[in-house]
Structure formats: structure tokens, C-alpha cells
Structure 1
């Protein structure tokens, strides 16, 4: 059981009615709270919840349409995303209860100050290195316009400016990160065919690929619903069409790919998390056609080349700059 869920269940008498659990972990919490419903924006957790609790969890960037008597927000990493989620929930809960739960090291006390915009807060519990906060929504905001919260910026690429739109919570929100900037400089000489932007974020790499290789089919894949929505906005802003899908890891990717390109993050919340990238390296060959290529950028200190060579083939370093390297390997 997730420690945040354990803290909630210490106060189970508060959560007996129709309840929305926003950003909930994929544990047994829905089983312990039979009138609760989930809202997830993580495709992997949503898949697990859907398997165990069919029809009881909603996936997307906006709350489910059903009415609920109270809501609990499981604190996300991003402050901007927390602002949006709290506003989206508070807009539906005038005069009702809104709760916030999270780990101390994830910044729950800071987030409790964001919660205070909607009423008087109080800390209900502190255990398992987590805190639970409560308020009655006295100052219900208008329903937030997610698109209005997007950040827009333009990249001066060799084939012209590329417009990028990112939503709250998306990796490197509102700016181009160093790894992606390096990868953008090394998109040449890719094999013809179906191209995948794995862990697409705001869609920078996928949009650049589609514009550079207009005859190629391009798919963008991310585990996060806000990233998927951002990628669609970025593609539309540049007049491009590509397939954007949500899924947890390389298992969700199409088969028969000519190339997989990725700037995989290695943090999930406040935790270091390498599993998605390691699974990509172990299973990329299963999704690549013969002579298909894997090309990714990663922090130099990450020991990916041995894993690439074990599961795909000889690993070449195409470039190195500012603490990042671009690795390339081809399926025999």
C-alpha cells in the first residue's frame, strides 16, 4: 500500500461518501473506499486501476463529469500542475471538502499554502513521512482553462522556426532542455519508414521529425496525459499531423519501426526512476524492423551503452556536450 494511501485510511471515516481520488496510486485504495472514483493522468497506473477496478478510474487532463461530494489530490511534482489541479477540483466543490496528501520531501507543506487560496486549511495527519491537509472550499474559482495555462515558445531550427506548446506538469515546461536541444542537432540520416518519439513530452522531437521527414509516418508516445495533450497542441501549431498515443513504456509502441528516438527522463515525482528507459533498451529490438535504429540522448553518467550493446548491437556515441551524450545503435 502506498504510504499516502495509508495516511488516508487512518482517517477513513472522512471518506465514506462519493469521493474523487485525483492522481491516486495503483494500489488497493479504491478497494478500501467502495464509493470512491479515480482520476489519473498516468497511463501505466490507469491501466492497472482499470484492470482491478473496471470503470472506476478516469484518464485525462480534466476531472470526470460525475458529481462528487469531496476530493483528494495526491500531490504531483510540479507546482504549476498542482495549481491547475487544485483549481479544477475546487471549482467543482463549493462548500464541500478538498483534501491534499503527499510526501514531506515532495513539498506538501508548500503545496498546502497553494491550497489555502480556496479556504482555511488544517493539517489532519502526519505519518509515514506524509501529511494530509483539509479545507472546506469557501472561495471556489472558475473552472480553469487548461489551454490558457500553456506556455508557448519558438525554436529557431535550420528548416525554420518550430512553435512549441507545453502544459503544466510536462517535462521542461515552457523551455527547451539541454538534452533535447542536442538531439535536435542530430536528426539527420535516419532510415526511411515509421519513426517513434518515445517519451515525447511537449512534442519537440516528434514535430521536428515530421517536418524533416514529411513522407514518414511519425508516432509520439508518452505515459503522461498532459504530455500527450501538449504534443497534439505543438503539432497543430506547426500544421503537422502525426499519431500521438498514451502508454506505459515501450510495450505500448507500434511494431515495425524504422527508428526510435528518445530523450528519456529518469525522474518520476521526487524519485529517481530508470525502469522505463532500461525497458526501452531491453525491448527496442522487438519494435524495430531489420536495420532499424535506436537514437537517444542521456546524461553522460548513465551507463546505458553496455545495456544497448547487450540487447541491440554496437553502440556509437554520435555527440557529447554539456553533460549529455547521444547514443546510436541499429538492429542487425
Structure 2
């Protein structure tokens, strides 16, 4: 059981009625709280919860249609995303209780101050290196419009400017990160066919690929609902058509790909995790056509080359700059 869930269950009497658990972990919390409904924006956790508690958790960027008279937000990493989620929940809780739970190292004490916009917050519990806070919603906000919270920036490319739409919580919100910037300089001579942007974030890489290779089929894949929504907005802002998929890891990707391109994720919430990237390197071959190519950017200190060569084929380093490397390998 996740320690945040354990803290909630210490106060289980507060959550006996219809409660919405926003950003809940994929543990047994829904089993312990039979009147609760979940809201997840992580496709992998949603799949696990749906397998165990069918119909009791939904995936997306909004609270959904399930009725609730209180809500718990499991603290996300991003302050901007926390603001949006708290407003989205509080807008449906006039006079009701809104709870915030999170790990101390994730900044729960700082985040608890964000509850003051709705009433007077108070700490209910502190255990398992976590804290649980509560506020009765006296100041009810308007339902936030997610797209109005987007940040837009323009990339100046050789074939003209590209508009990027970034939603709260998406990697490198409102700016182009250095790793992606380096990868964008090394997209030439890709094999013809179906191209995948793995871990698409705001859709920068996928949009650039569609513009550069207009005859190719382009797919974008991410685990996060806010990234999926951002990518769709970025494509639409540039008049581009591509397939945007929600899924957890490379197993959710199409087969028969000509190339997989990625600035792969290395965080799971507030925790550093290389599991998704290592899975990509181990299993990319199964999604590539013969001669298909993997091209990715990674921090220079990460020893990915031996793993790529073990599972895919001979690996070249196309660039090594500003703490990042571009790796290229083709399926044997």
C-alpha cells in the first residue's frame, strides 16, 4: 500500500461517502473505500485500477461525471498542475471538504498553502513521511478552463515557426528543453514509413517530424493525459495531422515502425525512474520493422549504449553536447 494511502486510511471515517480520489496510486485504496471513485491521468495506473476496480476510475484531464461530496488530491510534482487540480475539484465542492495528501519530500507543507485560496487549511495527520491536509471550501472558484492555462511558445525552424502548446504538469512546461533541442538537430535521413515520438510531452518532436516528413505516418505516445492533450493542441495549432496515443511504455506502441524517436522520461511523479527508458531499449526491436531505427537523446552520464547494443544492434553516438548524447541504432 502506498504510504499516502495508508495516511488516508488512518482517517478512513472521513472518506466513507462519495469521495473523488484524484491522482490516486494503483494500490488497494479503492478496495478499502467502497464509495470512492478515482481520477487518474497516468495511463498505466489507470489500466491497473480498471483491471481491479472496473468502472470505478476514469482517465483524463477533468474530474469526470462521477458524483462526489468530498475530494482528495494526491500531490503531483508540478505547482501549476496542483493549482489547476485544486481549482477543478473545489469548483464542485461548495461547502464540502477538499483534502491534500503528499510526501514531505515532495513539498506537501509548501503545497498546503495553496489550499488557502478556498478556506482555512488545517493539518489532519502526519505519518509515513506524509501529511494530510483539509480545507472546507468556502470560496468556490469558477470551473477552470484548462486550455486557458496553456503556455504557448514559438520555435524558429528552417521551414518556419512552430507553435508549441504546453499544459500545466507537462515536461518542460512553457519552454524547449536542451535535450529535445539537440535531438531536433539530428532528424535527417530517417527511414521511410511509420515514425513514433515516444514520450511525446507537448508534441514538439512529433510535430517537427510531421512537418519534415509529411508523407510519413506519425504517431505520438505518452502515459500522461495532460501530455496527450498538449500534443493534440500543438498539432492543431500548426495544422498538422498525426495520431496521438495514451499508453504506458513501449508495449502500447504500434508495430512495424520505421523509426522510434524519443527524449525519454526519467521521472515517475517526484521520483527518479529510468524504468520506461530501459524497457524501451529492451523492447524497441519488437516494434521496429527490419532495418528500423531507434534514435534518442539522453543525459551523458547514463550508460545506455551497452543496453542498446545488447537488444538492438550497433549503436552510434551522433552528438555529445551540453550534457546530452544522441544515440542511433538500427534493428539487425
What pairs up with 1:33-44 in 2 under 5 angstroms? 33-44=33-44
1:101 corresponds in structure 2 to: 101
Residue 241 (structure 1) aligned with residue 249 (structure 2): no
Q: Aligned partners of 2:18, 2:261: CA distance in 1, in Å?
A: 43
Residue 319 (structure 1) aligned with residue 312 (structure 2): no
Q: Aligned partners of 1:200, 1:101: CA distance in 2, in Å?
A: 29
1:139 corresponds in structure 2 to: 139
Q: Aligned partners of 2:151, 2:174: CA distance in 1, in Å?
A: 5
SS at match of 2:154: strand
2:79 corresponds in structure 1 to: 79
TM-score norm. by structure 2 comes to 1.00
Q: Aligned partners of 1:92, 1:271: CA distance in 2, in Å?
A: 30
Residue 306 (structure 1) aligned with residue 319 (structure 2): no
Q: Residue by residue, what CA displacement relative to the aligned partner does 1:1-46 show, whole Å, maximum 9, x if unpaired?
A: 0000000000001000001000000000000000000000000000
1:114 corresponds in structure 2 to: 114
The Cα of 1:65 is off from its aligned counterpart by 1.6
Task: Give unpaired runs (5+ residues) of structure 2.
Answer: none
What pairs up with 1:227-238 in 2 under 5 angstroms? 227-238=227-238
Q: Aligned partners of 1:146, 1:6: CA distance in 2, in Å?
A: 31
2:295 corresponds in structure 1 to: 295
Q: Aligned partners of 2:245, 2:116: CA distance in 1, in Å?
A: 36
Residues 37, 66 of structure 2: 8 Å contact kept:
no
Q: Residue by residue, what CA displacement relative to the aligned partner does 1:203-243 show, whole Å, maximum 9, x if unpaired?
A: 00000000000000000000000000000000000000000
Task: Give unpaired runs (5+ residues) of structure 1.
Answer: none
1:284 corresponds in structure 2 to: 284
What pairs up with 1:215-234 in 2 under 5 angstroms? 215-234=215-234
Residues 76, 270 of structure 2: 8 Å contact kept:
no
1:60 corresponds in structure 2 to: 60
Counting matched residue pairs gives 332
TM-score norm. by structure 1 comes to 1.00
2:330 corresponds in structure 1 to: 330
The Cα of 1:66 is off from its aligned counterpart by 2.3
2:2 corresponds in structure 1 to: 2
The Cα of 1:267 is off from its aligned counterpart by 1.5
Q: Aligned partners of 1:272, 1:199: CA distance in 2, in Å?
A: 15
Q: Aligned partners of 1:267, 1:34: CA distance in 2, in Å?
A: 31
SS at match of 2:214: coil
User: Stretches of 4+ moved more than 3 A in 1?
Assistant: none
1:32 corresponds in structure 2 to: 32
Q: Aligned partners of 2:2, 2:309: CA distance in 1, in Å?
A: 36
